[in-house]
């Protein structure tokens, strides 16, 4: 039987016309419009949320940046942009739930980090976040997950306290999943507010 001589495709075509090589991603093939479109159409919690609309990664990213900025009022625009883009790699690889990431192991994480580094370089951020900033963004991410879990994903408060991070009482957040088109535009608008450098 003849061998299949066709090489396997490792790139994703974007609506911008870019082709992003997932194995060796180039910052030159990354566009914010592609990220906004992809993230606004990827559902958090594998779509297992209440409401008419899915709660997208784009909306989650906006929430994480909002929490980060509230908790860190002296942060720079660059830090806030890093918070907004903390899950940007998911525009091409999707939002895998934490249990599945754990099952896949370290190879998945290194693959994800390679994409994150290319995205950061594209938008004039350090390729690898410093540990202090990373910790603050992760805290905001876990606060966001707690609000999402208890308000739209069916978790009890004791369950959410065990798996995520209970926010301080002063942090008041109301989750309301919104339509794809609105969240895509909101993500792009916030990016443009934070991105003051040319690229």
Residue 34 contacts residue 159 (beta carbons within 8 Å) = no
Task: List per-block mean pLDDT (blocks of 10 residues) for the chain, which spans 199 residues.
Answer: 61 88 90 97 95 97 98 96 96 75 67 91 94 97 98 98 96 96 98 77
Does domain 30-194 match CATH 3.30.70.60? no
What gap in Å lies between CA 38 and CA 120, rounded to an integer? 17
pTM, two decimal places:
0.89
Boundaries of every domain in the chain: 30-194
**Cα-based torsion angle of the residue sequence 191, 192, 195, 199 in order, rounded to the nearest 10 degrees:** 110
Question: Could you tell me the CA-to-CA distances from 126 to 12, 58, 98, 139, 155 in Å, in that order?
Answer: 24, 21, 25, 20, 36
pLDDT at position 141 is 98
């Amino acid at each position: 039987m003849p061998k299949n001589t066709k090489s396997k495709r490792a790139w994703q075509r974007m609506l911008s016309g870019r082709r992003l090589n997932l194995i060796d991603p180039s910052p030159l093939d990354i566009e914010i419009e592609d990220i906004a479109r992809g993230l606004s159409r990827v559902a958090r919690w594998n779509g297992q949320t209440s409401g008419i609309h899915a709660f997208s990664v784009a909306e989650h990213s906006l929430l994480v940046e909002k929490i980060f900025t509230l908790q860190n009022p002296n942060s720079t625009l660059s830090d806030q942009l890093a918070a907004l883009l903390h899950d940007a790699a998911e525009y091409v690889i999707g939002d895998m739930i934490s249990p599945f990431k754990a099952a896949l192991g370290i190879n998945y994480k290194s693959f994800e980090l390679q994409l994150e580094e290319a995205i950061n370089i594209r938008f004039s951020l350090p390729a690898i976040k410093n540990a202090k900033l990373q910790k603050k963004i992760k805290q905001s991410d876990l606060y966001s997950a707690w609000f999402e879990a208890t308000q739209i994903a069916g978790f009890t408060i004791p369950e959410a306290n065990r798996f995520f991070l209970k926010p301080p009482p002063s942090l008041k957040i109301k989750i309301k999943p919104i339509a794809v088109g609105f969240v895509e535009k909101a993500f792009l608008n916030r990016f443009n507010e934070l991105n003051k450098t040319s690229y």
